[in-house]
A and B are shown apart, each in its own frame.
Chain A
Amino acid sequence: MSGYEWDFRAAFLHPELWSKALWVTLVYAVATTVLGLLLGVICGMMLLSRYWIFRAPVSAFVQVFRCTPLLIQIIWFYYALPVAVNLTIPAWLAAGMGLTFYMAAFSAEIFRAGIMSIDRGQWHAARAIGMMSWQVMSRVVLPQATRRMMPPFVNQSVLQLKNTSLLSIIAVPDLMYTAQVFVSDTFRPLEIYTTLGIIYLIILYPMQKLAKMLERRDDI
């Protein structure tokens, strides 16, 4: 480090571009997390179905998206899928699809595991007082399972926000991409990438804390 002159001014030449980039990152993180969660819960329910016709396609979907790198998924949606369907897919959509499906695949597993973790005895007891399956689900199983699903869902959302940095690869102007642009303008990678890391840290540290808090909570 000797002799290097830190100059953080380079990192703050364009605050309005930083805030725009932050906005893009947050919108992608929130939108794909929410959409992915919804899709994931639907997929999770199908994974729990008695009928293989529901389970099989969803299981295949989950395996594919869990067992391939997100980077490849994003690139595939952007460069490969258009060839197959003979349509241009804009970068924002390709990126959104990759992130959403990735989140959905993990959420489906979290949901399935959460429901499965509830003791069979709870089903028996609820049935024994005359509940129908949907009542057992809504009154007994889901309220308990939701508490168990919360920590892994928050963890997955933390990962999701970090993963938005992969959007830069197809030129979506998120934090990572914007930082790269700044670096090529100023040749100050040390200051700019350090600032970038700190921005992610400031957003994610509280979320990580929240996940820890949810894990410790044992009110039932």
Chain B
Amino acid sequence: MTSEAGAKSGGGPMVEIENLHKCYGKLEAVKGASLTVGRGEAHFIIGPSGCGKSTLLRCINLLEEPTRGMVRVGDTAMRFGEGAKPMSAREQALYRARVGMVFQQFHLFPHMTALENVMEGPRTVKRLPAAEVLEIAEGLLEKVGLADKRDVYPKHLSGGQAQRVAIARALAMAPEVVLFDEATSALDPELVGEVLAVIRKLTQEGMTMVVVTHEMDFAREVATDVTFMDAGVVVEQGPTARMLSHVTSPRLEQFLRRYRR
């Protein structure tokens, strides 16, 4: 893996993935995926379970190291595969600090209050002054509608509340892009709405995001572009209207039919 801070992107796309492969031993989970996300766009990745969409997402912030290919976020481009020299742990951490991630299972820090969870990144990673950290965290809890839960520990939060705190925690780093990995899949149905409302608000504010989800109606509503993956391959890709409203591909149509109940 090599990083080239030189590949300036000015007004170009915020995220670019080129021919990305991820192998686990002999199993190839992602077989050459490419996608581009413009600034302020919401790119949705859909597909059946095990199609490689979560793996692809985790490759963007290097929680999984891609086997081959190129990933670029902002002005940091990284190449993976033969001949690419590995990135240092420090470089990886600096890079991840600019890419937010929201997990299916929230993964809040259970020994910290909601507020402390949100403060942790700016405090420990960015080392901002305490007053500024507090201001950022309080503002974000306000934004996700949980100002009154600031001193509550995660185990006393509902799933929807926990996920909103997790979103605030990701936003606290002021990331260039936020990745959502099935952010509502672990929630009780009646709690999905409150989390989607927060994500919707972020798209309206022009946050760049890559979203892996099974919420097709939500995708139709807020996605700029959609990528449909199956068996580790990008089957189809394009603007939301063409992808989800006027479907032409038989595989995508078959997939979507299963989500219409």
Contacts and interface: CB of A to CB of B under 8 A. Distances in A.
Nearest to A133: B89
A121 B107 contact: yes
A145 B190 CA distance: 34
A129 B170 contact: yes
Nearest to B123: A139
B103 A124 contact: yes
| Among A129, A143, A144, A220, residue most surrounded by chain B Cβ atoms (within 10 Å) | A129
A220 B110 contact: yes
A139 B110 contact: no
Interface in A184-216: none
Interface in B143-159: 153, 155
Given A128-B63, A131-B125, A119 B111 contact: no
Nearest to B100: A128
Majority SS at the chain A contact face: helix
Interface in B94-112: 94, 96-101, 103, 105, 107-111
Contacts of A129: 96-97, 100, 120-121, 125, 169-170, 172-173
Contacts of B169: 125, 129
A121 B186 CA distance: 14
B93 A128 contact: no
A132 B103 contact: no
Contacts of B120: 129, 139
B249 interface: no
Interface of A: 119, 121-122, 124-133, 135, 139-140, 143-144, 147, 219-220
Contacts of A144: 109-111
B65 to A, nearest CB: 12
B124 interface: yes
A119 B105 CA distance: 11
Nearest to A124: B63
Given A127-B93, A129-B120, A122 B103 contact: no
A135 B101 contact: no
Given A129-B169, A220-B155, A140 B90 contact: no
Contact of B103 (A121, A130, A140): A121
A219 B126 CA distance: 29
Nearest to A119: B107
Contact of B63 (A127, A143, A219): A127
